[in-house]
Structure formats: C-alpha cells, structure tokens
Amino acid sequence: MKLLMSISLLLASSAWADGLSFQFKSPSFSGAGQSAHYLTIDEQERSRKIAIQDEVEARLNELEREAENTTLAKFIRNLESRIFSQLSRDLAESLFNSEGGGTGGVIDLEGNQIAFVNTGTEIVLTVTDVDGAITEIRIPIGTFGICSAECGI
C-alpha cells in the first residue's frame, strides 16, 4: 500500500493542465495582419476589373477593325477616294483654264467651303473649315507655265 501511495503522490504532483485556446488563422477574423489582407484583396479586385476592361476594349477594337475591313467598306473608301480625286482635278482645271473655267466658284465639301476667284493676275483659293478658320492661297498667273487669256501669251 505504501507503494501505491508513493506512486499516487508522484503522479498527482506532476500533472499540470492548461486551458484550450483557439485562434483563427484568417486575418479577417483574428485582426493580425488584417490591413495587409484587405490591401491584397483590394489589389486583386482592382487588377481583375482592369483586366475585364482591357478585354472589353480589345474586343470592341477587333469588331471595329472587322467592320472597317469588309468588302463594302473597302469599296466605299475606294469610291470616295476616286470621287475626291476627280473633284480636285475638276477644280484645278476650273482654276487654271482661262477659256472654259470661268472666273470663280464655290464648293461646299462636308461643311467646309472652298471658294476660288480668277482675277486675271492671280487665282485666290479660300478654304473655310467647319469651325470658321480661313485659309487663303494666292497663285500668281503667268508664272510656272500658268497663264490666263489676259496674259497675252
């Protein structure tokens, strides 16, 4: 019995107990490193939004390019180019042809006004754009092979 008592004394005096403690590992719950955690989440959300915006922009640009490269769009661009070329050729002939060109005229081109006057000594070309800005070009007649009937050449 003495032995049993000795063992029980040894065992009773060496036993220690500690309380259970629970800690969350997520910073959202524990508060430790919480601001860094929030910044990480914010950065992920922001970069995802930017990626989505870039993807939408890229798709819109691709659709725009596809619309510009259709056969009909190419045909219209080519036709416009040829019409403007013919228009500028006709204008140049009217400016410098003293026999059939006349003394002046006005052309309205997409809101821009192009006026020309052949004074006999010079040709005055006045371009007024949509905003009202005026550009005036004066071309002397009789130089560079350009002459009207009044030059006597």
Provide the whole-model pTM: 0.41
Segment of 50-64, 80-94, 128-142 carrying the highest mean pLDDT: 50-64
In total, the chain counts a number of residues equal to 153
Helix boundaries (H) for 14-139? 27-30, 34-68, 71-96
CA distance 109 to 60: 31
- Which 8-state DSSP code applies to residue 38? H
Contact 90, 96 (CB under 8 A): no
List Cα–Cα distances, 28 to 36, 42, 48, in angstroms.
10, 13, 21
pLDDT in tens, 90-133: 777 776 665 655 678 888 888 889 888 888 788 888 999 989 89
